[in-house]
Amino acid sequence: MTPRSLSTAAGRRPVIVDAALTALSRGGYAGTTISDIAREAGISSAYVLKLFGGKEALFVAALNQCFERIEHTLAAVGTRETPAETLHAMGGAYADLIADRTLLQIQVHAQSVASIPAIGDALRDGLARITHFVKERSGAEDGDVQRFIAYGQLCHLVVTSAITDIDDEWARILTDGLRHPDAAKGKK
């Protein structure tokens, strides 16, 4: 990792959050150290601790960054003729976004440690933010928004479990009609 030349704490915070997002998406909460994040950011562990206080705050900041990126991607889609067409376009944009596993993995890791109060709160806040955004932007009925979110979670499962690599009826049932990055190739 190349050290970054930033002189202020305000300038370094986003760099550290990006590094935390990358490192935590790879190793998860338990498997990632402050040193891993600092190394990814190209700065000292002591400075990371000074700015964030600990790994929990870094995980929350990384998860918030994840949901900001998701919302930004969905917002770029714009509205279509019908709510269903808007949801379909948003689904395609999300599938493209998670082809880079970073955002997908941080969400999966967050779900696994949601019992940590601050992380659980951040996860629920992020899901609420995306759900409200999708509902408002698409104009879709609640049930359609629920299915949109549920299919996104199913895509996470399909990709992280490499279900697309399994040639069996149950796997075809779970993957039929889904747009998701190919588990092996990182492509839709």
Read off the CATH number of the domain in which 137 is found: 1.10.357.10
Q: Is residue 56 included in any domain, yes or no?
A: yes
pTM, rounded to two decimals? 0.88
> 2 lies in a domain?
no
Q: Give the domain range for residue 141.
A: 9-175
Does any domain span residue 64? yes
Of 60, 58, 64, 62, the C-alpha closest to 129 is 64
- How many C-beta atoms lie closer than 10 Å to residue 36's C-beta? 19
Asked whether residue 132 is assigned to any structural domain, the reply reads yes
How does residue 181 score in pLDDT terms, banded at 50, 70 and 90?
low
In a domain, 75, yes or no: yes
Q: Is 43 exposed, middle or buried (0-12, 13-18, 19+ CB in 10 A)?
A: buried
Query: CB neighbours of 181 closer than 8 A, spacing ≥ 6?
Result: 95, 96, 98, 99, 101, 159, 187, 188
Predicted pLDDT at 4: 52
The CA dihedral of 170, 143, 86, 110, to the nearest 10 degrees, is: -70
Is residue 92 domain-resident?
yes
Of 173 and 7, the one with more pLDDT: 173
Per-residue confidence band for 38, with pLDDT thresholds at 50, 70 and 90: very high
Cα separations (Å) of 74 from 20, 119, 126, 134, 174? Answer: 23, 23, 14, 8, 24
Average pLDDT over residues 37-51: 96
The reported pLDDT for the residue numbered 6 is 47
- Using CA atoms, how far apart are residues 119 and 123, in angstroms rounded to an integer? 6
pLDDT tens-digit profile of 100-138?
A: 899 999 999 999 999 999 999 999 999 999 999 999 999
Q: Compute the distance between CA of residue 37 and CA of residue 19 in angstroms, rounded to an integer.
A: 6
* Residue 110 in domain: yes
pLDDT, mean of residues 46-64: 97
Q: CA geometry: angle at 111 spanning 44 and 89, to 5°? A: 100
Q: Is 83 contained in some domain?
A: yes
What is the count of structural domains for the chain? 1
